Amino acid sequence: MMRMGVDLGGTKIELVALCDEGRELYRKRVPTPREYQATLDAVTTLVLDAEASLGITGTVGVGIPGVVSPFSGLVKNANSTWINGHPLDLDLGARLNREVRVANDANCFAVSEAVDGAAAGKGVVFGVIIGTGCGAGIAINGKVHGGGNGIGGEWGHNPLPWMTAAEFNSTSCFCGNKDCIETFISGTGFVRDYNAATGQALTSGADIMALAATGDAAANQAFERYMDRLARSLAHVINMLDPDAIVLGGGMSNIDAIYPRLPDLLSKYVLGGECRTPVVQNLYGCSSGVRGAAWLWQKA
Question: Which domains, ranges and CATH numbers included, belong to the chain?
Answer: 2-104 (3.30.420.40), 118-282 (3.30.420.40)
Class of residue 240 by CB neighbours under 10 A (exposed 0-12, middle 13-18, buried 19+): exposed
Question: Other CB atoms closer than 10 Å to residue 233's CB: what's the count?
Answer: 25
pLDDT at 298: 85
pLDDT digits (tens, 9 = 90+) for 131-151: 989 999 999 999 999 999 999
Find the range with the poorest average confidence among 50-54, 152-156, 275-279. 152-156
pLDDT digits (tens, 9 = 90+) for 83-117: 999 999 999 999 999 999 999 999 999 999 999 99
**Phi, psi angle pair for 19, to nearest 5°:** -85, 180
* Model pTM score: 0.94
**Phi, psi angle pair for 89, to nearest 5°:** -65, -40
pLDDT digits (tens, 9 = 90+) for 187-204: 999 999 999 999 999 999
Instruction: Name the residue among 163, 153, 175 with its Cα closest to residue 237.
Output: 153
Beta strands of 131-211 (E only): which ranges?
A: 134-140, 143-144
Predicted confidence band of residue 299 (pLDDT cuts 50, 70, 90):
low
Predicted confidence band of residue 10 (pLDDT cuts 50, 70, 90):
confident
pLDDT digits (tens, 9 = 90+) for 56-85: 999 999 999 999 999 999 999 888 899 999
pLDDT at 1: 87
Interatomic CA distance for residues 157 and 190, integer angstroms: 16
**Phi, psi angle pair for 245, to nearest 5°:** -160, 150
Instruction: Identify the DSSP state of 12.
Output: E
